[in-house]
Amino acid sequence: MSSTPGDFYQRDRDWHPPALVPAYKSSVTRSPNLPLLSLENSLSEVTGPTFGHKDIGPVDHDLLLNYATQGDPIGERIILHGRILDENARPVPETLIEIWQANAGGRYRHRNDSYLAPIDPNFGGCGRTLTDQNGYYHFRTVKPGAYPWRNSINNWRPAHIHFSVFGTAFAQRLVTQMYFEGDPLIDKCPIATSMPDPNALDQLIAPLDMNAAIPLDCLAYRFDIILRGRRSTLFENRLEGN
């Protein structure tokens, strides 16, 4: 008897940030008040977009190169690498990862960012790649700077990199942020600390990975991402007819 993939495990909403985090002021008027309607998975949720190597360019994953025209970007050169796994620790192969970040001075290349730190002419601040067959990925970039933001008057975002991940199904879609081990701003940030369980934040902090650093060239940080897993059972309710 074959075992076919079944429903995704229910998302543990207590592990994620709640919709309303009063200390993160933007969430106050943008958080639904009413309960979410819980659905059993149908075809609409267990399917999702697929991507291939023709969708992305050969240096899209290298932020040191992908926008540079006159030289290298300013900042601390780093490798960012890890695996995408599901909750059953199975690798998620050939899934699209997109990242975006501020430059080493904490400035975003965005028409709405007016922070006084300068734009780096050789740094775009975004990258994308596909995981390999074992769920591995890597990027090369510069470590982003901290920057101030209007929430309380003296709030600073810890250095962070935004991640967008697809998985195999629309039910696995995730955006998150990665922080850097040892950053004293992490514990002061109302976004980073928005999860009720402090162990959840640990999952967002990438440790320094000296074994992946390239001597005399760049440091490395390791960031594994876990997407929702799914049942694999001989006693599954059928997802669809026939």
Partner 1 sequence: MSRTLDHRKETPSQTAGPYVHIGLAPGAAGFDIYSAELGQEIAGPDAPGESIRVEGCVYDGTGAPVKDVLIEVWQADAAGIYPHPEDPRHAMVARGFRGWGRVISDFDSGEWAFDTIKPGKVPGRSGSVQAPHINLWIVARGINVGLNTRLYFSDEVRANADDPVLNLIEQRHRRDTLIARRHDREGTPVYRFDICLQGEDETVFLDI
CB-based contact 80:221 (threshold 8 Å) = yes
- CA–CA distances in Å: residue 235 to residues 11, 39, 153, 238, 239: 21, 19, 55, 9, 12
Q: One of 108, 137, 179, 221 is an active-site residue; which one?
A: 108
36 binds partner 1 (CB under 8 A): yes
Distance CA 130, CA 149 (A): 32
Q: Is 53 a catalytic residue?
A: no
53 binds partner 1 (CB under 8 A): no
Give the residue among 85, 68, 87, 90 at the shortest CA–CA distance from 77: 68
What is residue 25's three-state secondary structure?
A: helix
Nearest distance, CB of residue 53 and partner 1, angstroms: 13
230 binds partner 1 (CB under 8 A): no
Q: Is 157 a catalytic residue?
A: yes
* HEC assignment per residue over 110-137: CCCCCCCCCCCCCCCCEEEEECCCCCEE
85 binds partner 1 (CB under 8 A): yes
60 binds partner 1 (CB under 8 A): yes
Q: Is 13 a catalytic residue?
A: no
Site for partner 1 in 96-125 (CB under 8 A): 96, 98-101, 108-113, 124-125
88 binds partner 1 (CB under 8 A): yes
CB-based contact 180:206 (threshold 8 Å) = yes
- Contact pick of 6, 46, 131, 186 for partner 1 (by CB under 8 A): 46
Distance CA 22, CA 201 (A): 18
203 binds partner 1 (CB under 8 A): yes
75 binds partner 1 (CB under 8 A): no
Half-sphere exposure of residue 206: CA atoms within 13 angstroms, side-chain side:
29
139 binds partner 1 (CB under 8 A): no
- CA–CA distances in Å: residue 105 to residues 5, 10, 144, 147, 211: 46, 40, 7, 8, 27
If you ran DSSP here, which 8-state letter would residue 43 be given? Answer: H
Nearest distance, CB of residue 62 and partner 1, angstroms: 12
31 binds partner 1 (CB under 8 A): yes
Q: One of 138, 162, 222, 231 is an active-site residue; which one?
A: 162
Nearest distance, CB of residue 122 and partner 1, angstroms: 12
Nearest distance, CB of residue 79 and partner 1, angstroms: 19
Please say which residue, 19 or 214, places its beta carbon nearer to partner 1.
19
- CA–CA distances in Å: residue 45 to residues 40, 97, 133, 208: 9, 19, 23, 36
219 binds partner 1 (CB under 8 A): no
176 binds partner 1 (CB under 8 A): yes
Nearest distance, CB of residue 20 and partner 1, angstroms: 8
Residues annotated as part of the active site: 108, 147, 157, 160, 162
